[in-house]
Amino acid sequence: MPTPSVHDPISPAFVSAVGDALTGFLDEQAGLAAHTGATALLGAARTCVMGGKRLRPAFCYWGYVAAAGRPADPAPLMRVAASLDLLHASLLVHDDLIDGSDTRRGAPSAHRRLEKLLPGPDASHFGQAAAILLGDLLFSWGAEMFESAGLSPEASRRAAPVLATMRSEVLLGQYLDVAAAFGVTDRSTPQAQAETAERVLEFKSARYSVRRPAELGALLGDAPARLLAALGTYGSLVGRAFQLRDDLLGVFGDPAVTGKPAGDDIREGKRTVLVLQALERGDTTQRRVLTSFLGYPGLGEEDLATARGIIEATGARSSCEELIASSTTKALTALGGIDMNTEGYSALVKLAELATDRDR
Which distant-in-sequence residues (6+ apart) come within 8 Å of 37 by Cβ?
none
Give me the residues paired with residue 8 across strands. Answer: 5
**Residue 70 contacts residue 53 (beta carbons within 8 Å):** no
- pLDDT tens digits along 276-313: 999 999 999 999 999 999 999 889 999 999 999 999 99
- pLDDT tens digits along 16-56: 999 999 999 999 999 999 999 999 999 999 999 998 899 99
Interatomic CA distance for residues 54 and 102, integer angstroms: 22
What pLDDT was estimated at residue 219? 98
Dump strand ranges (E) for the chain: 103-104, 107-108
Backbone angles phi, psi at 103, to 5 degrees: -130, 155
Interatomic CA distance for residues 85 and 21, integer angstroms: 10
Which distant-in-sequence residues (6+ apart) come within 8 Å of 129 by Cβ?
none
Name the H helices within 29-54. Answer: 30-36, 39-48
No. of helices (H) and no. of strands (E), the chain: 18, 2
**Residue 73 contacts residue 151 (beta carbons within 8 Å):** no
What pLDDT was estimated at residue 2? 65
217, pLDDT greater than 80: yes
Among 229, 265, 230, smallest CA distance to 244 is for: 265
**Residue 307 contacts residue 263 (beta carbons within 8 Å):** yes
pTM reported for the whole predicted model: 0.95
Stretch 94-113: mean pLDDT, rounded?
92
**Residue 89 contacts residue 49 (beta carbons within 8 Å):** yes
| Other residues' Cβ atoms within 10 Å of the Cβ of residue 25 | 21
- pLDDT tens digits along 263-285: 988 998 999 999 999 999 999 99
Rg, C-alpha atoms of the chain: 21
Among 238, 237, 239, 264, smallest CA distance to 253 is for: 264
Confidence tier at 334 by pLDDT (50, 70, 90)? very high
Interatomic CA distance for residues 64 and 34, integer angstroms: 36
